Amino acid sequence: MLWRIVRDGLAPHRGALSLLVVLQLVSTIASLYLPNLNAAIIDEGVAKGDTGYIGRTGAVMLAISFLQILASVYAVYLAARTAMSFGRDLRARVFSRVGEFSAREVAQFGAPTLISRSTNDVQQVQMVVFMTLAMMVGAPIMMVGGVIMALRTDVGLSWLVAVAIPVLAITVGLLLRQMLPRFRVMQDSIDSVNRILREQITGIRVVRAFVRERFEQSRFAEANASLTGASLGVGRLMAIVFPVVMLVLNLSTIAVLWFGSHRVESGEMQVGALTAFLSYLMQILMSVMMATMMSMMIPRASVSAERIGAVLDTETSVVIARGGGRRDLATPASVVFDQVDFHYPKAEAAVLQAISFEALPGQTTAIIGSTGAGKTTLINLVPRLFDATGGTVRVGGVDVREAEPDVLWGRLGLIPQRPYLFSGTIASNLRYGKPDATDDELWRALHIAQAEDFVREMDGGLDASISQGGTNVSGGQRQRLAIARAIVRQPDIYLFDDAFSALDVATDARLRAALAPVTRQATVIVVAQRVSTIIDADQIIVLDDGRIVGRGRHTELLRRCPTYQEIVVSQRAAEDQLEVTR
Looking at per-residue pLDDT, the higher value among 447 and 286 belongs to 447
112 versus 456: the higher-pLDDT residue is 456
CA angle (433, 438, 443) in 5-degree steps: 90
Q: Which helix (H) or strand (E) holds 355?
A: strand 352-359
Among candidate residues 63, 523, 75, 87, the one with its CA nearest the CA of residue 333: 523
Average pLDDT (482-492) is: 91
The angle, 0 to 180 degrees and rounded to 10, between the axes of the packed helices 51-100 and 14-40 is 160
Read off the pTM. 0.71
Which helix (H) or strand (E) segment holds residue 397: the answer is none
Instruction: Report the C-alpha gap between 366 and 540 in whole angstroms.
Output: 5
Q: How many CB atoms lie within 10 A of CB 107?
A: 12
Q: Which of 230-244, 359-373, 420-434, 467-481 comes out lowest in average pLDDT?
A: 230-244
Q: Which helix (H) or strand (E) holds 524?
A: strand 523-527
**pLDDT band for position 553 (cuts 50, 70, 90):** very high
pLDDT of residue 32: 83
- Identify which has the larger pLDDT, 266 or 93: 93
CB 522 within 8 A of CB 530: no
Report which listed range, 69-73, 141-145, 162-166, is most confident.
69-73
**Whole-angstrom distance, CA of residue 467 vs CA of residue 521:** 34
Question: What percent of the chain lies above the pLDDT cut of 70?
Answer: 96
Specify whether the CB–CB gap between 76 and 138 falls below 8 A: no
Instruction: Place 473 in a pLDDT band, splitting at 50, 70 and 90.
Output: confident
Distance CA 538, CA 520 (A): 12
Least confident of 173-177, 282-286, 572-576: 572-576
d(CA 144, CA 147): 5
Tell me the average pLDDT of the chain: 84
Q: Confidence class of residue 190 from pLDDT cuts 50, 70 and 90? A: confident
User: What's the CA gap between 462 and 427, in Å, rounded?
Assistant: 5
Q: Are strands 412-415 and 493-497 parallel, antiparallel or unpaired?
A: parallel
Window from 79-93, 182-196, 419-433 with minimum mean pLDDT = 182-196
Fill in the amino acid letter for 263. R
Cβ pair 280, 118 in contact under 8 A: no
Which structural domains are found in the chain, ordered by start? 2-312 (1.20.1560.10), 326-411+493-582 (3.40.50.300), 420-490 (3.40.50.300)
Bridge partners, 548 (sequence order): 543
DSSP 326: B
pLDDT at residue 579 greater than cutoff 60 = no
Residue partners of 238: CB distance under 8 A and separation at least 6: 179, 296
| pLDDT (average), residues 228-233 | 86
CB within 8 Å of 545: residues ≥ 6 apart: 373, 374
Amino acid present at 517: P
**Helix, strand, or coil (residue 472):** coil
> In the prediction, which pLDDT does 580 show?
47
According to the model, what pLDDT value does residue 578 have?
A: 46
- pLDDT bin (cut points 50, 70, 90) of residue 46 is low
Q: Which segment of 57-71, 115-129, 228-242, 369-383 scores lowest on mean pLDDT?
A: 228-242
pLDDT for residue 274: 81
Range of weakest confidence among 48-57, 362-371, 389-398, 424-433? 48-57
